[in-house]
Structure 1
C-alpha cells in the first residue's frame, strides 16, 4: 500500500486596500478592505496577489499584501 502524503498547509492571506499616503501602511477606510482569500501555499497566494495588483495598477494608493498566516499560527516554526 502506498499512502499519498499531502503537502503541509502553509496558509497565506491576500488582502488590500487604498492607503492614506504613499509613505505609510495606513488604510483610508478599513470597511473597504478587499479580502482576496486564504491560500494553501505561497505560490498560490502570489498568483492571486499579482492578479489583484494588476487590476488596480492605475491607482497608486491601492496596495495588496500577502500575510504568512502559518507564521502567526505557529510562530515557533517560522
Structure 2
C-alpha cells in the first residue's frame, strides 16, 4: 500500500489550533510517498516561519483519509 503525505501550511486563527484563516493563501508544499520526505519538506518550510506564531505547517496523512479502515502502523 502506498502511503501518501501532504505538506501544507498557512495562517491560523489560534497558534495552538488548526483553523486556517485564508484558504486561498494556503501553501501546498507537495505530496510525498514517505513520511521521511514529508517531514523534511515540513521542517524546511516550518523553520522559515519559526518567528511567525500565526504561520503553521502540517503533515496530513492522506492514506488515512483514503483508506481509514487500514491500521495506523
* TM-score under structure 1 length normalisation: 0.82
Instruction: Using the TM superposition, give the Cα deviation of residue 66 of structure 1 relative to its aligned residue in structure 2, in angstroms.
Output: 0.4
1:25 correspondence with 2:15: no
In structure 1, the gaps of 5 or more residues are 1-7
1:48 correspondence with 2:41: yes
1:13 correspondence with 2:6: yes
For residues 10 and 74 of structure 1, the distance between their equivalents in structure 2, rounded to whole angstroms, comes to 10
In structure 2, the gaps of 5 or more residues are none
Number of residues of Structure 1 aligned to a counterpart in Structure 2: 71
SS in 1 for 2:46: helix
Whether contact under 8 Å (2:15, 2:56) holds in the other structure is no
Q: Any runs of at least 4 consecutive aligned residues in structure 1 with deviations exceeding 6 A, and if so which?
A: none
Whether contact under 8 Å (2:9, 2:55) holds in the other structure is yes
Q: From the CA coordinates, give the structure whose radius of gyration is larger.
A: 1
* TM-score under structure 2 length normalisation: 0.87
Instruction: Using the TM superposition, give the Cα deviation of residue 26 of structure 1 relative to its aligned residue in structure 2, in angstroms.
Output: 1.6
Instruction: Using the TM superposition, give the Cα deviation of residue 27 of structure 1 relative to its aligned residue in structure 2, in angstroms.
Output: 1.4
